[in-house]
Amino acid sequence: MNKLIDGKLLAEKIRAELKTKAKGMNIGLAVVLVGANPASQVYIKNKIAACEQVGIKSSAHYLDDSTTEEQLTKLIKKLNTDKSIHGILVQLPLPKHLNERKILSNIDPKKDVDGFHAVNAGALFLGWEDCLPACTPAGCIELIKSTGVDMTGKHAVVVGRSNIVGKPVAILLLNENCTVTVCHSKTRDLPYITRQADILVAAIGKKHFITADMIKPGAIVIDVGINRTDDKLYGDVDFENAQKVASHITPVPGGVGPMTITMLLANTIKAAKHRYD
């Protein structure tokens, strides 16, 4: 029998646990948004609401499109030294005139709750448990664990090699003792490889790119894709047909999305605990 992996339900469960962890701690998260990207504004709103839910104090910094690299860097450095702030999040994408890599590298790695800093990415690669992992990949692992399936020795195939999802989720799967294959736009005979996956993570950014005939019967399918078409959200997986083949599968929306924000909260509390300890 196929089973839906309910990201909303799992997120609520984990957030209740995080609320208990945060109790008695004065935790602060600074959120920085440059420009008026409508999607980014929605994400920020959701993140602030989630912070309130678990007892994290959020402070939002809204900057206009004309903000210079120098001005943004100055704000980040100020937040780095602010003892009331334990996590800093610069919402992506940034306006084109700002160097994303340079801006993110200015965030104190101990406050980098998005897990994008090279220090945290390197610590993740080395398997250091005290690092702050990228939120979406960490959420994917929690979703897989929620199925109760032992990941040890399973063949996990990741479709996509981005620094934000593909690469870090591959490392996290390795840390769970999976055998991992990473596929991308240059991979030859992709369906042949995806059909070998006990665990398939789709993070390529193309609507319904993964079809049912590309999925091994009984596989766990995690759909990271968020593709907006005709004001509707679609995943990278053809969910309607894929669910007939997979043993466990995440929907879009309601799968990975809620868990991404939940892992942001977990990272913020983790960062605060390091400071308190």
Just list the catalytic residues.
47, 91, 114
* CB of 80 closer than 8 Å to CB of 111: yes
